[in-house]
Amino acid sequence: MATRIYTDDFESKVLESDVPVVVDFYSDSCITCKKLAPTLCDIEEEYEGKLNVFKVNTNYDTKLVEEYEIKANPTLILFKEGKAVGKQIGPREYDELVEWLEDYI
């Protein structure tokens, strides 16, 4: 299961990561976010050691929400070498996420 991170550890966990990182911007009250969670767990297992997956709660980490212009939950942002290189908004199936990630891993 993806680990929740906060504004304070975002830089060390995401921007300074040696491997690509998917950040799931979510809300606890978002039904679609809850439906996406098992798919992200599968992605995390499939790409273990090649990709990290973290979660940021949009209700609490508003600085990150503003910085990355999060307008809807869930929003996935893929970071590589400290830069946001891709964004997916809304629910996604496993195969869609794998296809999206393959170009970066």
Q: List, by residue number, the catalytic residues.
A: 30, 33
Under DSSP, is residue 3 helix (H, G, I), strand (E, B) or coil?
strand
CB 51 within 8 A of CB 2: no
CB 79 within 8 A of CB 88: no
Q: What are 2's two structure tokens? A: 């993806």
